[in-house]
Amino acid sequence: MFPIGDDNHGARGLPVITWSLIALNVLVFLYQSMLPLEGLRDFIFMYGSIPAEIEQGQDLYTLLTSMFVHGGFAHIFGNMLFLWIFGDNIEQRFGPGLYLAFYLGSGLAATGAHILTNSGSTVPSVGASGAISGVMGAYVLLYPTNRVWVWFGYFGITHVPAFFFLGFWFVLQFINGLAALSVQTAQSSGVAFWAHIGGFVAGLAIGGVLALFRPEPERVRRKSGSWRDDEGWLW
């Protein structure tokens, strides 16, 4: 089940911050791609977030820089696809400045969750997935009935409500996160599941508070409150 878009109820104007974040992540990745193998390793250890160092108050700048470093093409492609699909609605709900603060705050919360569950680790954590998980948490809270278009491989493309897709995604992260609490699984998976979980929960919490001060316009609320698909189902 792979997302390829949403029906975008509530999107208005250009999502400048979302596009800028995507552009910055891509530019950093292109720079990484030009580095020799040893240089790339040094780059990741310099700008990735290492739990053992953060716990000692060292290299705190990596709490931010790690959000813009990725471990490979599949890593950045998946992250930027999710940000492109879900970010514009949240940006246009909160406004550019508040959305950027929300994005970075979700990323910090995600890194905090990762550090708490990987205390003493010397393995650098990189990627925007924690911050984007926060965007997804806010999305499922604010736009639960929006349609998400997903590709089911052999079965083709269909749409499901956002609460189903993102709820299913979160359950998978939680199950894998519990498994990753064992040292063997955590070392072999290479995925910071608890960063995803922490970011998602932070997005729910922070997004819920911010939404109180940024109510949805009545026109958009009427449009996105419920919808009926081609087969007549009401979500």
For residues 119-136, one letter each, b for 16 or more C-beta atoms within 10 angstroms of the residue's C-beta and e for the rest, the string is: eebeebbbbbbbbbbbbb
Distance between CA 187 and CA 174 in Å, rounded?
17
* Residue 225, pLDDT score: 46
Residue 229 banded pLDDT, cuts 50, 70, 90: very low
> How many helices (H) and strands (E) would you count in the chain?
11, 3
Instruction: Quote the number of domains for the chain.
Output: 1
Given a cut of 50, whether residue 228 has pLDDT beyond it is no
Within a 13 Å sphere around the CA of 117, how many CA atoms are in the beta-carbon half? 25
* Residue 136, pLDDT score: 98
Residue 124 lies in a domain: yes
Could you report the per-residue pLDDT of 58-81, keeping only the tens digit for each?
999 999 999 999 999 999 999 999
Residue 190 banded pLDDT, cuts 50, 70, 90: confident
Could you report the per-residue pLDDT of 30-64, keeping only the tens digit for each?
999 999 999 999 999 999 999 999 999 999 999 99
Could you report the per-residue pLDDT of 137-169, keeping only the tens digit for each?
999 999 999 999 998 877 788 889 999 999 999
* Residue 141, pLDDT score: 96
Q: Please give the share of the chain, as a percent, with pLDDT higher than 70.
A: 87
Beta pairing, strands 2-6 & 157-161? unpaired
Residue 232 lies in a domain: no
Q: What CATH number corresponds to the domain at position 79?
A: 1.20.1540.10
Residue 194 lies in a domain: yes
Average pLDDT, integer, range 202-208? 96
Residue 90 lies in a domain: yes
Residue 20 lies in a domain: yes
Could you report the per-residue pLDDT of 93-139, keeping only the tens digit for each?
999 999 999 999 999 999 999 999 999 999 999 999 999 999 999 99
Residue 105 lies in a domain: yes
Residue 186 banded pLDDT, cuts 50, 70, 90: very low
pLDDT, the chain, mean: 88
Residue 57 lies in a domain: yes
* Residue 4, pLDDT score: 87
Q: Domain containing 212: what range? A: 2-224
Per DSSP, what are the bridge partners of residue 3? 150
Residue 233 lies in a domain: no
pTM of the model: 0.87
